[in-house]
Amino acid sequence: MFKGSITALITPFKDGTVDERGYQDFVEWQIAEGSHGLVPVGTTGESPTLTHEEHMRVVELCIEAAKGRVPVIAGTGSNSTDEAIQLTAHAKKAGADAALVVLPYYNRPTPEGQYRHFKAIHDAVDIPIVIYNVPSRSAVDMTVDTMARLSKLKNVIGVKDATADLARPLATRLACGDKFCMLSGEDATIVPFLAQGGEGCISVTANVAPRLCAELHNAWQKKDLAEVDRLNRRLFPVSKAMFCETSPGPVKYGASLLGRVSADARLPICEISENSKQQVRGAMVAAGLLN
């Protein structure tokens, strides 16, 4: 259902509030640069520190700006099942193509609790659901067995896999079948992920290098492996730099260097250090993203 370079959008702020015009301009630029899809209010969009009203407004702004040109997968996860249902219902009403639902963080539910959480959302809202498995942030990992069980539900259509386990995509493909959509959540390992059965990436790096990221996926789909290798080598240092500190600090700074948005983030995410700024700038210059 989804493939290619899908940008995990940053949320720009101005004077402490969401910069609505800046956000929609950023969405327009992403589409013009060739991004294959958009994810508003994921972790990169600072969903933990947006109010529910802001969260829903950002989803609406993204859908309004995209105008159906590329799919919008709205972040709707919460560690409260009831809140996740409310956010997912709003995404459906707003016109999102799918919901990206993270595993409940901090609660650390058992496999049965994970299954019931996603099934409750599935049963409450008729919208395609992409499971977001990111153990480094949620402190819980969904096993392949649990994912296979969930994949039998009509609207659980795929996963954003941020485990960095490169055996996982093949194991997931074998367990969940060929129709299950497998998207990476790790820019630096995207090529081996694709080689193990993946179909795309929900990308942080695409915030600052949307055209290059899209071109890499276009080349992969055309089986132009020499071009894939060339682009991967060019993008790899950028992807590493985007995580030199806690995301989205580095990527918001990178986007500010391009003059696209402010680098401002909400506490507890703060301005990155001077050393990190040098790393981000250096990687972007080396990749030809900055003069």
Residues with catalytic annotation?
A: 132, 160
The helix (H) or strand (E) run that includes residue 112 is helix 111-124
Three-state DSSP class for residue 256? helix
DSSP 242: T
Do residues 8 and 202 touch, judged by C-beta distance below 8 A?
yes
Question: For the chain, what is the largest distance between any 2 Cα atoms, rounded to a whole number of angstroms?
Answer: 52
What's the one-letter identity of residue 192? Answer: P
Residue 60 token pair: 């609406």
- Neighbouring CB atoms inside 10 A of 233's CB total 11
First to last CA, the chain: 37
What's the one-letter identity of residue 133? Answer: N
Three-state DSSP class for residue 7? strand
Three-state DSSP class for residue 77? coil
Residue corresponding to tokens 């990436």: 201
Please tell me the distance from the alpha carbon of residue 235 to that of residue 287, in angstroms, as a whole number: 7
